[in-house]
Structure 1
Amino acid sequence: MKNKVIAGIMAALVMQGVAAEQGMNEMWGESTVKLRAENAERGQLFNDGNYAMFIHWGLYSQLGNQVGDKTYYGIGEWIMNPRMAGIPIPEYKKLAGTFNPQQFDAKFIAKLAKDAGMKYIVITSKHHDGFAMYDSKACDFNIVNSTPWKKDPMKELAAACRAEGLGFGFYYSHNQDWTFPGGGRGPTVDENGNPATFEDYFTKKCLPQVEEITSNYGPIELVWFDTPGKMPKKYVQQLVDVVRKNQPNALVSGRAGHGLGDYQSLGDMEVPHKNVKGMWEAVDTTNDSWAYAWYDEYWKTPKEILRRLIACVGRGGTYMLNIGPRGDGSVPERAARALRESGEWIRTYPQVVYAAEPSPWEHALPWGDATVKGSKLYLSVFEWPTAGKLYLPGLKTKIIAANLLKKDQSNPLEFSESNGWTILELPPVAPEKLVSVIEIDLAGTPRVDATFGIDPNIGTEILAEFASVDGAELSHKRWMEKFGEWKSVHHVHNWTPEGKAIFDVDVLRPGDYVVSLTYSGEGRLVWGVDVEGGEHIQNEQNSSHNYQEFPIGWINFPEPGKYKVSVSSLEGDCKTSSLKSIRFSPVQ
């Protein structure tokens, strides 16, 4: 079992108060990096499985982001909110009268998750719209009482998960409830016009519903609370106590708030670039929306799913990937296909993902990523080297053997060492269509020099978050492309005239390299790049509102070894200069 479980609470990762979309980030609340592990079973599936299915499904799914003749672009589960269509509560509740998901098939979904290589499913029992997707006695606004379908899909899905050997859990929006009096962002008066308080909502609906979902569906693995906002700690504690009482082996998500969750949940759609200590998950979705949106066909390919999954495992965490069934209950075919194809790869190479330790480099490598099991190092090669050599920087532990895997075959590879690098001899053609795997047997636990190695074959991008900064500021920012579609970047900004972002690099092959910078800003900007004790280059390029890569020039490394390379914002509107990364590409 990987060493993710640590004591104590780390600082919240989610930044609050984003001006562009005020309230979204702050709703995520605190994240924790701890696990109160009373026994070895609690958290085992989360900790070792590393891959799960998230499902967003509700009344909003039958709208598919279209209200009347208008399409609203963004995350579908927020469609009734004023930030989207602003559907009045009475009109939204009428949707339940036409909600009849005849195509819902719990066995199909559980089998899809199993085929995808996922180890458990977490589904929305109640989202912010307040509609319960199960047979709730605490509120009539639910799928059994309010719809012509009159079935409890959660009973069916819980049973289907057990039949497939999968874990099962619930998402529950504990603070926000847009349709119940007193709920977060909900009506402030009851049906009789009397003032309604959060206490009313909590005691009449929230607490009883958490009792229901933790009592009526058999053993569950996880209760995924969401968006605590300013919910007082005493209420969160009561909810956590209910989970502990009814499901002692279940985990509570970090978004419960007030540090009362068991693990850290990163921001929506955020896959980290450097290793994160403790026990954590990244939550992502198969396209751009969590709930079904009729127009959204931007599906992650099987290769991209694997890239993001292995990145999470390689950084030390768990990946939970969402699907959004249609209003009729069916799963979009292209999402299902991508999940099955990536799942077939996982079944072939389970050792890369399950119960795997994070990469000793603590970041991705130019051609792919690495995970660890004991004294075995697994290299997942996404970009197959055309030159027939794979360069591995900084590995200090002695190699016993290296093998190229293909299904149940294992082909030995020749390797050599030079200036602290390991060079693996590869065939000219990748053995796998998606990701090829190299297994390296080591004489012990892998130890590495994590300095970024500049690959002699392919371009090496180093993100700004790995720089040391002097006379500028390094920070994390988030923004939305569409409503609820979060993007994020660690960037260097607020440059002073002497400001520098300094990158430590390790060069194996001396010579000329093309240097490019990815940045945003306003107008034409002049950037400088310096090798400590060596060349200086600078160039002016136009900038963009978003991040694009621009070439700066050639730079020379005269001999193998370690170098410091600094980037400076020299001229133009330097207040807007925002550096995301630097790239070194060998001159061929």
Structure 2
Amino acid sequence: MHFRPFLLGLCLFLSVLSARAQADYQPTAENLQAREWFQDAKYGMFIHWGVYSVVGGGGDRGVAEWLMQQKQISVDDYEQLPHYFNPTAFDAKAWVQLAKDAGMHYITITSKHHDGFAMYDSQVSDYDIVDRTPYGKDVLKLLKDECDRQGIKLFFYHSQLDWHHPGYYPRGRTGQYTGRPDEGNWQHYLDYQNAQLTELLTHYGDVAGIWFDGWWDKAEAPAWKLDETYALIHKLQPQALIGNNHHRAPFPGEDFQMFEKDLPGHNTTGFGSSANDIGTLPRETCETMNGSWGYNLTDDRYKSTKDLVHYLVRAAGYNANFLLNVGPQPNGEIQSEFQDTLRAVGTWLQTYGPTVYGTRGGPVAPKTWGVTTQKDNKVYVHVLDYADRTLLIPDFKGRVKSARLFNSGSKVKYQTNAYGLLLELPQNRTGDLDTVIELTL
């Protein structure tokens, strides 16, 4: 591992220059505009890809990008994996086209996961895809150039946790089996982290944002110095959105709030999301297409097109984006099962996209039967799981001018009374992924 003094010095100068501002962070006009775009985009592709894909889970459905931790692999042994990582089938154009076919408007890809391996050409470390693999190419650069050509925005996922760097000390909740000495310079690690972020924000053009993960490894440690890191990012690219998967209410300096494998206010995962944790920032929920984030050869727990459409729609009803993950294979291809389902969701969006894109959560709180979304004077009632012919929406706010089925334009009978808004649903809804009724107020 080697460090370039100039880049580290630039990083430290910028962070000191503006660190104090983050406690009272006021987003720029460019940042506020980016937040609006983000909320309108609604749907993105998450990509977990790294040298761990070579192992393909090792026959264990529960192992992928956490391979180093779960199999208790030392740094010395894990450093052998890059020698076998040669994704000659990687095609940035095909990846971006797949995202577009799926109806997605942005991509978030791992620039560095918890194993510490950089998936780009880092100048402050040789532990990266260019210097350590036979492939020797900067996949983030190739992907960013293609995203620019096809009009897709790119976020970088960057792990704050690092099982490889010797300066990540004291250890947190994970990374206890890596064989590193029980000593290290924490400030040295933070300088390294910020130097890599500086690379990502100065070598790849305009970046949509930084998606942080790993803060929870040392959750009670004030030594993270988030003010300095966030100030650095906002200084280098004011429009770039910052989110942090810390499972808490938003911290000062953040621009959007994410929820891992849960809708806002739900806590099926145990990560700590509750109604009290929801802030006022734009929201995003992320989920996998099977059970794994990274590539896993034996994980066939595939979610159906219906599952994913319902999750996307429910997320929109909760006023949140949906970031749907794929874990590419070690050769660089995205497995066919994922591609087929993604394109099926994209086909559904070709018809129903206007009821999702550009909307906000509707006037009716999400229910077991479905959700509502809204754009201007249009309210879209998404009936996802409901068998009866009539649907009563109590205490509906707003005067309804007309009601119609969104896909056919057929009129829907309705009436308002002391109990609320009563809608008469079509008789034959068998096979429908989502019955959408458009209300004009």
The 2-side partners of 1:87 and 1:95 are apart by 11
Secondary structure of the equivalent of 2:189?
helix
TM alignment of 1:483-562, pairs within 5 A: none
How far apart are residue 336 of structure 1 and its match?
1.7
User: Which SS does the other structure have where 2:234 is aligned?
Assistant: helix
What amino acid does structure 2 have at the position aligned with 1:79?
Answer: L
1:41 to 1:75, Cα distance in 2 relative to 1, 3 A: farther
Contact 1:395–1:421 under 8 Å retained in 2:
yes
1:338-381 deviations in Å (ceiling 9; x for gaps)? 11111221221222112212132222242x22111122110112
Give the one of 283, 294, 301 matched to 1:298: 301
Query: Any idea what the Cα deviations from partners look like across 1:221-248, whole Å, max 9, x if unmatched?
Result: 1101112234545632232222112211
How far the C-alpha of 1:390 sits from its partner, in A, is: 3.5
Look up the match of 1:328.
Answer: 331
One-letter code aligned to 2:390: K
Say which of 196, 215, 225 aligns to 2:202: 215
Contact 2:310 2:433 in 1 (8 A): no
Corresponding residue of 1:363: 366
Query: Hey, what does 1:250 align to over in structure 2?
Result: 240
Aligned length: 396
| Matching residue of 1:436 | 435
Shift of 1:194: 9.6
Query: Residue 46 and residue 73 in structure 1: after superposition, are their counterparts in 2 closer, same or farther (change >3 A)?
Result: same
Q: Any conservation in 2 of the 1:370–1:377 contact (CA below 8 Å)? A: yes
* Cα 1:356/1:169, change in 2 over 3 Å: same
2:232 is matched by which residue type in structure 1? V
Partner of 2:360: helix, strand, or coil?
coil
Who is 2:253 aligned against?
260
Unaligned runs of 5+ in 2: 1-22, 267-274
Distance 1:422 1:377 in 2: 13
**Contact 1:364–1:370 (CA under 8 A) maintained in structure 2:** no
Aligned to 2:394: 393
Q: Is the contact made by 2:114 and 2:214 (CA closer than 8 Å) also made in structure 1?
A: no
Match for residue 104 of structure 1 among 90, 107, 114: 90
In the TM superposition, what is the alpha-carbon distance from 1:195 to its structure 2 partner?
A: 4.1
Give 1:166's aligned amino acid: I
User: Which one of 283, 286, 289 corresponds to residue 286 of structure 1?
Assistant: 289
Number of the residue aligned with 2:162: 177
> Structure 1: which amino acid aligns with 2:94?
F
Report the alpha carbon displacement of residue 187 of structure 1 after superposing the two structures with TM: 8.4
User: Aligned partners of 1:428, 1:163: CA distance in 2, in Å?
Assistant: 46
Distance 1:421 1:339 in 2: 37
CA contact 1:254–1:262 (8 Å) conserved in 2 = no
Report sequence identity in percent. Answer: 33
In 1, are the aligned partners of 2:164 and 2:178 still within 8 Å (CA)?
no
Residues 558-580 of structure 1 deviation map (CA, whole Å, 9 limit, x = unaligned)? xxxxxxxxxxxxxxxxxxxxxxx
**Deviation of residue 304 (structure 1)?**
1.3
Q: Equivalent residue for 1:447? A: none
Instruction: Quote the offset at 1:215 in angstroms.
Output: 0.9
Note if contact 2:403-2:437 (Cα within 8 Å) is conserved in structure 1: yes
Q: Which amino acid aligns with 2:400?
A: I
Q: Contact 2:112/2:119 (CA < 8 Å) preserved in 1? A: yes
- Higher RCO (Cα < 8 Å, 6 or more apart): 2
Question: Which residue pairs with 1:269 in the alignment?
Answer: 261
Q: What SS does the corresponding residue of 2:124 show, helix, strand or coil? A: coil
Q: Which amino acid aligns with 1:306?
A: V
Residues 1:202 and 2:171 aligned together: no
Aligned residue number for residue 122 of structure 2: 136
1:410-448 per-residue CA deviation (whole Å, 9 max, x = no partner) reads 111222345424333333223873222110111xxxxxx
Q: Name the CA distance, whole Å, in 2 between partners of 1:98 and 1:259.
A: 41
Letter in 1 for 2:38: F
When residues 75 and 438 of structure 1 are mapped into structure 2, their CA distance, relative to the original with a 3 A threshold, is: farther
Q: Deviations over 1:83-135 (max 9, x none)?
A: x1111111111111110011211111111111112111110000010100011
Q: Secondary structure at the match of 1:206?
A: helix
- Pick closer, same or farther for the CA change 1:392–1:61 going to 2, 3 Å: same
Alignment deviations for residues 443-465 of structure 1 (CA, whole Å, 9 cap, x no partner):
xxxxxxxxxxxxxxxxxxxxxxx
1:420 corresponds to 2:419: yes
Equivalence for 1:533: none
CA distance in 2, matches of 1:411, 1:138: 61
Change (3 A) 1:351 1:357: same
Which one of the candidate residues 36, 51, 54 is aligned to 1:62?
Answer: 54
SS across alignment from 1:179: coil
CA radius of gyration, larger in:
1
Structure 1: runs of 5 or more not aligned: 1-31, 443-588
Contact kept? 1:35, 1:263, Cα under 8 Å: no
For 1:141 and 1:308, how far apart are their aligned partners in 2?
Answer: 37
Give the distance between the partners of 1:328 and 1:434, measured in 2 at CA. 34
Q: Distance in 2 between matches of 1:196 and 1:323?
A: 35
Name the one with the larger helix percent: 2
Verify the 8 A CA contact 1:254 1:260 in the aligned structure 2: no
Query: Displacement of 1:167 after TM fit?
Result: 0.6
Aligned to 2:18: none
Identify if the C-alpha distance between structure 1 residues 89 and 438 changes in structure 2 by more than 3 Å, giving closer, same or farther: same
Q: Is this contact kept in 2: 1:225–1:253, CA < 8 A?
A: yes
1:394 is displaced (CA, Å) by: 2.8
What residue identity is the alignment partner of 1:373?
Answer: K
In 2, Cα distance between equivalents of 1:421 and 1:238: 51
Q: Distance in 1 between matches of 2:179 and 2:368?
A: 57
Aligned residue for 2:156, secondary structure, equals strand
SS in 2 for 1:145: helix
Distance (Å, rounded) in 1 between the aligned partners of 2:107 and 2:434: 25
**Matches of 2:47 and 2:333 in 1, distance apart?**
12
- What residue is the counterpart of 2:27 in the other structure? 36
Where does residue 345 of structure 1 map in the other structure?
348
Change (3 A) 1:432 1:73: closer
> Aligned to 2:29, what secondary structure does the other structure show?
coil
What is the SS of the residue equivalent to 2:98?
A: helix
Matches of 2:426 and 2:310, distance apart in 1: 22
Which secondary structure state, in structure 1, belongs to the residue aligned with residue 78 of structure 2?
Answer: helix
Contact 1:413 1:426 in 2 (8 A): yes
Question: How far is the alpha carbon of 1:196 from its aligned partner?
Answer: 2.2
Hey, what does 1:548 align to over in structure 2? none
Deviates more, 1:159-168 or 1:177-186: 177-186
Matched, 1:403 2:404: yes
When residues 424 and 182 of structure 1 are mapped into structure 2, their CA distance, relative to the original with a 3 A threshold, is same
The one-letter code sitting in structure 1 at the alignment partner of 2:421 is T
Q: Distance in 1 between matches of 2:297 and 2:386?
A: 36
Q: CA RMSD in A?
A: 2.6
2:26 and 2:351 map into 1 onto residues whose CA distance is 31
What is the TM-score with the length of structure 2 in the denominator?
A: 0.83
Q: In 2, distance between residues paired with 1:369 and 1:195?
A: 52
Counterparts in 2 of 1:396 and 1:127: CA distance versus 1, 3 Å: closer
Shift of the 296–177 alpha-carbon distance from structure 1 to 2, 3 Å rule, reads same
